[in-house]
Amino acid sequence: GADFKLSISTLRISGILPSTGDIQLQTEHLATRLKQDSVVEDISAGCGIINFKVNRKLLVQEDDKFGLNSELFNTLKKGTTLVEYSSPNIAKKFHAGHLRSTIIGNFIANLKQCLGNNVIRMNYLGDWGMQFGLLGAGFAQFGCQEKLKENPLQHLFEVYVQVNKEAEHNEDMKQAARDFFRQLEQHDNEAVSLWQQFREITVDEYQQVYKRLGVHFDVYSGESFHQHQAQEVVQQLQSRDLLKTSEKGTGVVDLSTSGDTSSVCTVLRSDGTTLYITRDLAAAIDRKEKYNFNEMIYVTDKSQANHFRQLFHILLAMGHSWADRCKHVPFGLVRGMKTRKGEVVFLEDVLDEARARMLHNMSQSKTTKEMDNPEDTAEKVGISALIVQDFRGPLQSDYKFDWDRMLQAQGDTGVFLQYTHARLSRSVFTTVLYRYIKLKCPCFINICYLSNEELDVLCSYDEVLYQSAQDLQPKHLVNFLLKLCILISFAECQQARLRLFSGACSVLANGMRILGITPVDQIMSFPFYCLGYCTPGI
């Protein structure tokens, strides 16, 4: 019989088919137009019903490639994708606010790579601008090289707080900041040397945080790389008669057609120094020349939506048609992120607390002490919990941070994903025994006993990845993996369950890696749904 049925009446109600006419003729006509593929091996027409028969041999594919060789991916455009994400400001500790950009960008890069794209992962550091004028002027007054060696980013953070406070009421300090930044742009040796020292110690410390998150970058770039090119952009804007001078003496580009002042973008200060968007224009042009990308994706919070709208419009006005292939992926804010010490400022505090809380939960199990490195496992599971909590809903939505819910062992959490994967991967029946049976007695594993629901979920992995590729939302993959975990918890067929567990374990591991989660093979005993066991005597 058929594995799945499609009612023509449903298609009529949804407006896909005309609401009148011979229903049987419509059924037969639609059945002939539908094509078989590697998943659907037979299509037939019944009485107002189209029957689909699934190729169950799909479930004996090699585990590590399960669902990744789908014909569905042939319709996706492939090429070079450049993803810019994380992008913190140097001379500051890694702020917790950059967590979302980092993990979302990492997901998008992993997804694009999984689907066959050449991916360039770029960290575009905020390493230029008036903030370094303030920091340079402040370090001259409040800085200490000894403290900089002892705890570099903490000391720079303290200096930055001090100088900002001083600049609020001290015009001389504001002028000193402007002077220092002008010296930077004019390549004064002393100013550049201090700035370079700040940049190097910052990148070194950031890399330790990225290592904990399992995130890496192919390119560390920054605004400073494009200071010369930014002036060239200004000249190009002038030559195209796009650059105007405002009443305040600043250089602006008018993007409006009706004189709407909200569409006027400032690209040059009155003293001739460049701005963030000027350097972004230069960076985009340079990247296209250097990497010849097919698409470029920026991952930042939604408050920067107007910045990127202006950026893309100016690029198009300059004659760069490829700007249509640039995309901004915005995300909302995280509210209520606190540790036991209070309000969170630095990401390291969040990661430390996630590890500590998870290690405490694991310590309640007697089997935790049998693990080789419980701290490392607690770190990975804690980060999994952070990622899944973040990815459950639409990226543009704000969400409230909740430690207790995030670390629950049951429900829609990263902890639940990790526990399920650990139980599957360490099960004798999904590893040694399954492979032995497959080799010695392949006819034993009768996958026909798997239910349609089990088949439907497991075989829809490619559809979920395809959907994620369309809108770059991780929620589709997260919800799919959670549904898969629940499904295999209730799998009933004793023999076919071996195949289901093995395929599910592979899909869970691959899906979690795309999300940026490192799967673990052991956590502790976990009294949730019984995953079941093989038939006695096998």
Q: Angle CA(506)–CA(452)–CA(70) in degrees, nearest 5?
A: 45
Whether 29 is catalytic: no
Distance linking the first and last C-alpha atoms of the chain: 30
Active-site residue, from 92, 112, 155, 226: 92
Q: From residue 2, give the alpha-carbon distance in Å to each of 51, 447, 497.
A: 5, 15, 21
Active site residue 369: no
Q: Catalytic residue, from 95, 147, 313, 327: name it.
A: 95
Q: Which amino acid is at 477?
A: L
Q: What is the DSSP letter of 534?
A: P
β-pairing verdict for 49-54 and 4-7 = antiparallel
Q: What is the arrangement of strands in the sheet containing 4-7, beginning at the earlier edge strand?
A: 4-7, 49-54, 40-45
Check: CB of residue 302 under 8 Å from CB of residue 87: no
The pair of structure tokens assigned to 481 is 């993996």
Kindly report each contact of residues 265-270 with a partner whose C-beta sits within 8 Å and lies 24 or more positions away, as own/partner.
Answer: 265/310, 265/314, 267/233, 267/234, 267/237, 267/243, 267/314, 268/234, 268/243
Contacts (Cβ under 8 Å, ≥6 apart) of 257: none
**Strand, coil or helix: 299:** strand
Q: From residue 40, give the alpha-carbon distance in Å to each of 44, 467, 468.
A: 11, 19, 22
328 is known as an active-site residue: no
CB 2 within 8 A of CB 54: no
8 A C-beta contact, residue 191 and residue 182: no
Catalytic residue among 93, 98, 226, 328: 98
Residues carrying an active site annotation: 92, 95, 98
